[in-house]
Structure 1
Amino acid sequence: MKDETIEKVNAEIADWQYLKELPEKWHDFRLDRNTKISKDSYDLYRYVNEELHKSATIYFHEETHEYKVRLKIGLIEFCRIEFITANIEVFEKLLKNQFEQVLMDMVEFNPKSLSSIVLDKKITTWETGNKLPETVEGFHLFISPAQPVKINNGSYIVIDYVDFSLESSFTVYYNIYRDEFFAEARIWNIPDVNYDFDSNELSELEAKMHQHFIPRLIDIRTRAEKEAAARAATESKQAEDEQPV
């Protein structure tokens, strides 16, 4: 991040009363005031719940020169577009009006967050989806079709199986604009896409899940564990190299 951007943000938040008055705990989330500056963002603070694997980060984005809110749910991070603004005073108003509800919705499912299109698609009442096993091939069902999660660009997380120890997952999305289901894997949090699950109807998705779901999970785990072994070997080698002769 450019020095002038850091100076700008520091100047704007130096006397920001809203920041000073934030509650230390809020709807099961803990306030983390540690700032973090990276190449393209300045994280001002975040609310985090480690047990839920969820967090909400308030930050300034170098590329667009705007204040934003970034949510992390499981391994998936996305920006809430309704908070985007370049003006810190407007940002404060948006936070005061809407941020608490964001935290509440991450703690407890809010049916009002769903588009009528999602409801008409009958995703939440999908019989097969609501009978998905809690654990498959070592992956835990983190998000189920009964409680889809709205992200951005018209997409909802419909199914999310995660192994947090390997930072790997299998996720099925539904996009209301394209009227399409599609899937993405993450292997050590790096997206890995194929098109085996692309579908327009739940019946089609169900058939493709029956055919491809288990093999896909096995593939994700195999590759994730291979990467874990490679990382462990590298760390072991580095430790040996650092030993005094």
Structure 2
Amino acid sequence: MGDFQLSEERRMIREQDEDKEYLIFIYRNDRNGWTVRAVFNPASGEFSIRTDIGMLEFALIEFITDVFDQFRAMVEERLPRIIQTYYVDRCRNFSVILQNKGLPAVAWDSFLPEEYKGFRRLVKPNEAVRIINGSYMVLSYYNAETKSGLSVMYNVLRDDFFAERRIHNFPNLVHDFDSESLRDLQSALQKRLLPVLDEILADMD
């Protein structure tokens, strides 16, 4: 589907000499490094679908079950549509909430570079990605080798923007982009995006 390619795995992933998860299959997007995988957790006895979009990994909670036949039925019925809608055709299936917020109307490419000092822009606001807890990731700059970067999210319930940075996959909040209006977010990104990315680079040493 799109740039995602299916690979049937059926193997145990081990971490620190312990069984972490049994990987059933995985959809990989080699262009941006994203994955959507089906796993069985031997500790909890549950099947789930987990999504990794670089700056964030999360479970699609609607697929979590300890009954394999139920899991298989949900995967067959719903997963292809979710991958296509959430991760492939993001522009075509843009949320009405984000449209009303005005995200598609801004010329983001005019001031958001595609790359900056090893950080790749994996998400931009007019291609926002639905994540968890009523939020969308609207911007992401990520260095896959160091597992470091910056993401900006929009929470639908609170109607505000907030940001998180990761350094060697360790997360913490950054408040430079906290805002309630799109105009304030745009202004903050124009002033603080590159300095914050420089700060992340400095803290990676």
Shift of 1:102: 3.5
The sequence identity of aligned pairs, in percent, is: 29
Structure with more helix by fraction: 1
| Partner residue in 2 for 1:54 | 34
In 2, Cα distance between the equivalents of 1:33 and 1:51?
A: 24
Structure 1 unaligned segments of length 5 or more: list them.
1-25, 227-245
Letter in 2 for 1:36: I
SS in structure 2 opposite 1:162? strand
Q: What is the CA RMSD across the aligned residues, in angstroms?
A: 2.4
SS in structure 2 opposite 1:195? strand
Indicate which of 170, 193, 198 corresponds to 2:173.
Answer: 193
Equivalent residue runs for 1:204-223 within 5 Å: 204-223=184-203
Structure 2 unaligned segments of length 5 or more: list them.
none
Structure with more strand by fraction: 2
User: Are the counterparts in 1 of residues 150 and 165 from structure 2 also a CA contact under 8 Å?
Assistant: yes
In 2, Cα distance between the equivalents of 1:220 and 1:155?
A: 23
Equivalent residue runs for 1:160-239 within 5 Å: 160-224=140-204, 226=205
* Residues 155-176 of structure 1: per-residue CA shift (max 9 Å, x gap): 1111111122222111111111
User: Are the counterparts in 2 of residues 130 and 145 from structure 1 also a CA contact under 8 Å?
Assistant: no
Indicate which of 17, 21, 24 corresponds to 1:42.
Answer: 21
Indicate which of 105, 109, 113 corresponds to 1:133.
Answer: 113
TM-score by length of 1: 0.72
In 2, Cα distance between the equivalents of 1:146 and 1:161?
A: 15
In 2, Cα distance between the equivalents of 1:64 and 1:176?
A: 31
| Partner residue in 2 for 1:104 | 84
Shift of 1:44: 2.9
In 2, Cα distance between the equivalents of 1:27 and 1:219?
A: 33
In 1, Cα distance between the equivalents of 2:196 and 2:71?
A: 42
User: Are the counterparts in 1 of residues 32 and 122 from structure 2 also a CA contact under 8 Å?
Assistant: no
Say if 2:5 is the partner of 1:28.
Answer: yes
Letter in 1 for 2:47: Y
User: Are the counterparts in 2 of residues 56 and 69 from structure 1 also a CA contact under 8 Å?
Assistant: yes
TM-score by length of 2: 0.84
Indicate which of 46, 51, 72 corresponds to 2:52.
Answer: 72
User: Are the counterparts in 1 of residues 9 and 23 from structure 2 also a CA contact under 8 Å?
Assistant: no
Per chain length, whose mean CA-contact separation is higher, i.e. which structure has more relative contact order (CA < 8 Å, sep 6+)?
2
User: Are the counterparts in 2 of residues 114 and 150 from structure 1 also a CA contact under 8 Å?
Assistant: no
